[in-house]
Structure 1
């Protein structure tokens, strides 16, 4: 579904938000029980719910399946579309560093032989889902169908993603409509590589993973280190996810501890040079859409209001795993949740994780914010 939207990019970094003091609110001692209940509700072979509250971590693991060979919180999990939070931060950092502006035409970077339309699709359009692209390329489904239940994305490599983008002719002017697009963010990854002469995977490692010491995060599988995905009913194992040419949109896999480290960096940008400017920039709204422009997005996150301040989050799923990442500067809380079961209708996993974060009280003891 497409809706009218209002965009602004690139914008100034977010104004300084009050950093929470390192004290704890009433009820913080309930975290082990609340997280254990969330693990049970996930109803997955493996589940981990991890919270950082003012830098103090609580991690609870469990599952319906047998214990894997490593502790569940030390396995790497496929986070699917939550990868976009990493790609968004990467773009913000490249802009903050002066290497890019965000306004570069993607087609020109990718070697288009003829000029794009009157309003070219820019890097910022791709990241903010306003490029006028569908969720997936038109030719994706015929190629993916033979491997639909195992690895459909793996059948659509880099060159096909780029070629599909260069051939696409949108009915809408870029920047005027929002439509969530794995295709667009995948193209962004290839455009960033073309603009810098460095593959997206290497850009991610050099500019984000290494500076943040995310040593247990990578965009590729590693035998013995990764959790194994399962079907909707939690049975029947699935092969490791192959993102094909869509790596920038969904390839990252990480341990719950690395996910918390990533989120904690967003809660304390000043403690993470040289990413401080980018970490602040990804809090800034760049797009408002829907009736009354109620839906707010940054370059990396969905942004919802609470009674105390904004809540930032992104979820993701592969064929056999799910993830939720979110943080709240007003309460100094970050939450990462992962499980090894395919998404199903009326699934409680994301809603449970979101509610845990949204219901946090502020330090002054005000009532929990309603989930919106």
Structure 2
């Protein structure tokens, strides 16, 4: 896990400032307001000692903030239990001594504070109110430090998961590229053996496919129109291999310019339709491909003929296995994949829900 940072973070700083402000000012102010209302039965008397409370609150804010940011938070983020205990002990003494010698001196010499409060302050003795200090200050600040620590840990874990996801997706893509090129080069090799005039056009089309894979498919997302253009080029390459008796259709419905998709996500299903359908078909075979995009979902339907005597492949190929893993990583709980077969055909239906 990434090391937790001690640097300022505005999102967390706002939480810390609010808690420190509430502990330093609002607790005593709310207490005075309640006392004026329920004990003195005169809410207006709340304002009599407001200047005194503001001075005490400002002093406390400085003391508590320094204690929290300079010591307590650092030890909590570093999981240093002995440091936290040392803070607990030291804070009791330092806070009480600072209140007695510094805060009281400020109050006594502050002309805007009432003479009665200044007179009473002169008579205060040094004491250690440990219980109140723990309940109202130390434990809330300790809880705040642990809250910030938890938030930073969650953020670090999220970043780590994103990095792992990115690495795994790149690994799956790297596996898919050689697999795709291997199948396409086999197609060209087959035509070359037959001395087919389609060999040169197929090599040119392969160049376009390679350009897309090498220079565009390394992005996180591409425009769906561009991906479909790539798939159409692949289908044209396959059409060059087969006789006119093989029926191959590629139908695209409702694709807007703004639609995007992860590159090479649909290719393995189309590859398999040709590789395990037409490539093994000796009679009149077919491949039907439909891509339909709406505002909320993208649907891919691939249907291909099933060669006679061809049993269902229980062990998926590299491309199919990769695309299943990529779907789990990219569309968790946002996709459905149905693969059906009968004695005549294979049927694949993939639906991707938009985020």
> Shorter-chain TM-score category?
under 0.3
Normalized against structure 2, the TM-score is what? 0.23
The structure having more radius of gyration, on CA atoms, is 2
Between 1 and 2, higher relative CO (CA 8 Å, sep ≥ 6) is seen in 1
Normalized against structure 1, the TM-score is what? 0.22
Give the structure with the larger helix fraction.
Answer: 2
